[in-house]
Amino acid sequence: MMGHLIFVGLGLSRPEDMSMKALVALRGCDEVFAEFYTSRLIDACQAELEEFIGRKITVLNRKEVEEGTIILKAARQHKVAFMVAGDPMSATTHVDLRLRAAEEGITTELVHGVSIFTAAAAAFGLQPYKFGRAVTIPFPEPGYLPASPYDYILENYSRGLHTLVLLDIREEEDRYMTANEAVRWLLDAEQRLGKGLLNDETIICAGARIGSTGQRLLAGDPQTILGADMGPPLHCLVIPGRLHFMEAHALVSFASAPRDILEED
Amino acid sequence: MMGHLIFVGLGLSRPEDMSMKALVALRGCDEVFAEFYTSRLIDACQAELEEFIGRKITVLNRKEVEEGTIILKAARQHKVAFMVAGDPMSATTHVDLRLRAAEEGITTELVHGVSIFTAAAAAFGLQPYKFGRAVTIPFPEPGYLPASPYDYILENYSRGLHTLVLLDIREEEDRYMTANEAVRWLLDAEQRLGKGLLNDETIICAGARIGSTGQRLLAGDPQTILGADMGPPLHCLVIPGRLHFMEAHALVSFASAPRDILEED
C-alpha cells in the first residue's frame, strides 16, 4: 500500500489556532513531521504542540526538508503529516516536496492554516484587495544589499497599493528580524537608492505577534517605529499605499496612528 | 458592564475548518450573529454550524450588517460573536462595525480564519509572493461594464505577477458567478478593450470549492475552462503571470495544465 502525505498549516500563534480538521488529520497520522525555519508558531513550543495533538513531532531542518528523503521514505508506507506555521505551500520546498510525493504515487492533501498574508491586513483593518506583491527583507550581509524589496514597495506604493513586508528568519541562529531593524533597513535603502519612498512623515505599520493574545500594532513615522519596543518576534511591517477613509480610521483606532492621517483623504 | 464583540473567521468549507480558538470563542458567547453575503461556507448549512458550535445563529442580511444596529445593541451588554466565512475584516462593513463598536467602548477581538486569498495560491502551488492585487469580477449589468478587473489583471500580468480573481456573489438571489461566466466576462473585456491580456493559448486557472473535499482545480486555455463543468460554487480564477518552473510543474500535476507550459520557462 502506498502512503499518504498531508501538509498541515498550523496558523499563527498557539496550537488552538489550528482547525479542527487539522487536529483530526494530525491525530490520524502514523508520523508527524514539522519545519519551523520558514516560520514558527509565535506562542507555543514543540512540547505543547505534541501534547495538543497527542503525537511526537519530528522537527526537520532546512537541509532535511529540501532533501525530502526522510519525509518521502515515511510517506511511502504510512500516513504522514508535515506541519508548518501559517499555511503550507508558501515555500517552494513545500511545493517541491508535494510534487515529488505525487510523482512517486503518494497521495497528498492540504489542510490550510491562517496565514500572515491575510491576518496582517485584517489586524490593521486594511483591505486585502489593496495589497500589491509582498516582499521579504533579508538580514544585511556584507556585499549583498538587494534593492528589490525597496523597489517592489515603491512600485506598489506608486499604484496606491499596500505592501506586506515579511522579515527574515534565521531559525538555526534563533534570529528573527525586528520591525525596528526592518525600518532601519528601509531608511538605509532610501539613502542608498533615493527614489523617495520614505520621508520623515511616511506612515509605517508595524505588527508584532499578529494573531496572538500578545499582539501589538503600531502605525507611525519611521522614527516612531525605530524607537518602539515591539517585544518578542514575530514582527512584520505594512507600508500603506493610498488609505481609504475607513482604513485610516482603523489605523488610528487599532494601531495608534497619528490622527492627522484622517485629514489626508 | 460594556460588552465584547468578537469577529470570527470560519474558513472555507466545513464547520471543522474553524480553529479551536474560534470554537471556544463562539461557545463562550451569549449571542452569535453571522453574514453570508460577502462569502459563505462551501459545504455547510446553518443548522450544521449551529449544531457544531452549540448555539443558535442569527444570520443578518447586508442592510442589517451595514446599519449595525442589531449587533451593536447586543454587544453593548453581552459577549457577542459575528461570524463570516474566510477571514473577517475583508469587507469594509466589517471594519466599519469594529470601529463603531470601539468608539462606543465595546471591546473587540479578531479570531482569524483561513482565507481564499492564501488558500487559492496554496492549492495551485503558486507562490503567494508573486500575487499582485486581487480583483473581483461583477455580474454584468446593463450599462455597467467596468474595465478595472481587466486592467488590474493586465497590470499584474505585465509585471509577471499572478492575479487572484474573485467572483461576484448575490446571496439574496442565490447566484454565484461560475468560473465559466468569469472567463466569458474576460473574453468579452478582451474584445472590448483589446489590450492583449488573453489569447487562445493563455493559461487560466479555475478553482472550485477550494479547501473542501470536493475541490476541483483546472488550468488550461480559455476554451478549456469555458467548456468545463466545475460543479457547484464557490468558484474563483487565478490568471498566472510569469511561472517559476516549480509553479508550472504544480499546475500540470495538480490542475491538469497542458504539459507544454513546462517548456516555456
B88 touches chain A (CB under 8 A): yes
Cβ of A87 and B114 within 8 Å? yes
Q: Could B19 and A17 be called an inter-chain contact, meaning their C-beta atoms sit closer than 8 Å? A: yes
How far is the alpha carbon of A12 from chain B, nearest alpha carbon, in Å? 9
B chain contacts of residue A251, beta-carbon cutoff 8 Å = none
pLDDT tens, position by position, A108-119: 999 999 999 999
Nearest by CB to residue A250, choosing from B12, B99, B161, is: B99
Is A21 an 8 Å CB contact of chain B? Answer: yes
- Peptide bond before A41: cis, by omega within 30 degrees of 0? no
The type of residue at B120 is A
Cα dihedral A254, B133, A264, A227 in deg (nearest 10)? 50
A90 touches chain B (CB under 8 A): yes
| A259 in reach of chain B (CB within 8 A) | no
Q: Which residue of A has its CA nearest to B129?
A: A134
Cβ atoms B208, B245 nearer than 8 A: no
| Torsion sign (Cα): B24, A49, A177, A226 | positive
Q: Per the CB < 8 Å rule, is A112 touching B247?
A: no
8 Å CB contact of B19 and A21:
no
pLDDT at residue A1 above 70? no
Cross-chain residue pair A129–B135, CB shorter than 8 Å: yes
Residue-level pLDDT at A118: 96
Interior/surface letters B57-88, b for 16+ CB within 10 angstroms, e for the rest: bbbbeeeebeebeebbebbbeebbbbbbbbbb
Ordered DSSP codes for A176-232: E--HHHHHHHHHHHHHHH-SSS--TT--EEEEESTTSTT-EEEEE-HHHHHT----S
Minimum Cα–Cα distance from A251: chain B residue: B99
Residues of chain A above pLDDT 70, percent: 99
Mean pLDDT in chain A?
96
Min Cα separation A171/chain B (Å)? 20
Between the alpha carbon of residue A88 and those of residues A199, B122, B150, B251, the distances in Å are 36, 7, 30, 16
Nearest CA in chain B to A133: B132
Candidates A17, A113, A125; nearest CB to B21:
A17
Judge contact between A254 and A217, C-beta under 8 A: yes
Per-residue confidence (pLDDT) for residue B198, from 0 to 100: 97
Distance CA A233, CA A41 (A): 10
Report which of B222, B148, B142, B149 is spatially closest to residue B179, judged by C-alpha positions.
Answer: B222
Quote the pLDDT of residue A142.
83
For the four alpha carbons of B80, B85, B87 and B93, in that order, the dihedral sign comes to negative
| B47 φ/ψ angles, rounded to the nearest 5 degrees | -60, -40
DSSP annotation of A53: H
Say if residues A164 and A236 touch (Cβ distance below 8 Å). Answer: yes
- pLDDT bucket at A263, cuts 50 / 70 / 90: confident
Tell me, what's the pLDDT at B55?
A: 95
The 10s digit of each residue's pLDDT in A93-147 is 999 999 999 999 999 999 999 999 999 999 999 999 999 999 999 998 887 778 8
Cβ within 8 Å, pair B14-A21: yes
Residue A262 forms contact with B (CB below 8 Å): no
Write the DSSP string, chain B: ---EEEEEE-BSSSGGGSBHHHHHHHHT-SEEEEE-SS---TT--HHHHHHHHTS--EE--HHHHHH-HHHHHHHHHSEEEEEESBSTTSSHHHHHHHHHHHHTT-EEEEE----HHHHHHHHHT--GGGB---EEEPPPBTTB--SHHHHHHHHHHHTT-BEEEEE-EEGGGTEE--HHHHHHHHHHHHHHH-SSS--TT--EEEEESTTSTT-EEEEE-HHHHHT----SSPEEEEE--SPPHHHHHHHHHHH---GGGGG--
pLDDT at res. B264: 60
Nearest CA-CA distance, residue B95 and chain A, Å: 6
If we measure between CA atoms, which residue out of B49, B78, B102 comes closest to residue B59? B49
Closest Cα to residue B241, out of B133, B163, B167? B163
For each of the domains in chain A, give its residue range(s) and CATH number, in order of start. 4-111 (3.40.1010.10), 116-263 (3.30.950.10)
Please give the residue of chain B at the shortest CA–CA distance from A164. Answer: B129
| Per-position pLDDT tens, chain B of length 265 | 679 999 999 999 999 999 999 999 999 999 999 999 999 999 999 999 999 999 999 999 999 999 999 999 999 999 999 999 999 999 999 999 999 999 999 999 999 999 999 999 999 999 999 999 999 999 988 877 788 999 999 999 999 999 999 999 999 999 999 999 999 999 999 999 999 999 999 999 999 999 999 999 999 999 999 999 999 999 999 999 999 999 999 999 999 999 999 986 5
What's the average model confidence in pLDDT over A176-192?
Answer: 96
Give the closest residue to A257 by CA, choosing from A230, A224, A219. A219
**What phi-psi label fits residue B205: left (phi over 0), alpha (psi between -120 and 50 degrees) or beta?**
beta
> Roughly what angle, to the nearest 10 degrees, separates helices B245-255 and A92-103?
40
Task: Kindly list the residues from chain A whose CB atom is less than 8 angstroms away from the CB atom of residue B87.
Answer: 114, 118-119, 122
B115 touches chain A (CB under 8 A): yes
pLDDT recorded at residue B1: 62
Q: Using CB atoms and an 8 Å cut-off, which of residues 140-159 of chain B contact chain A?
A: 155, 159
Q: Is B43 on the interface with A (CB under 8 A)?
A: no
Q: How far is CA A213 from CA A16, A137, A249, B111, in A?
A: 12, 25, 22, 10
Q: Which residues of A touch B18 (CB under 8 A)?
A: 19-20
Which residues of chain A neighbour B110 with C-beta distances below 8 Å?
122-123
Kindly state the cell numbers that stand for B159.
Answer: 509585471
Q: How confident is the model over A196-214, as pLDDT tens digits?
A: 999 999 999 999 999 999 9
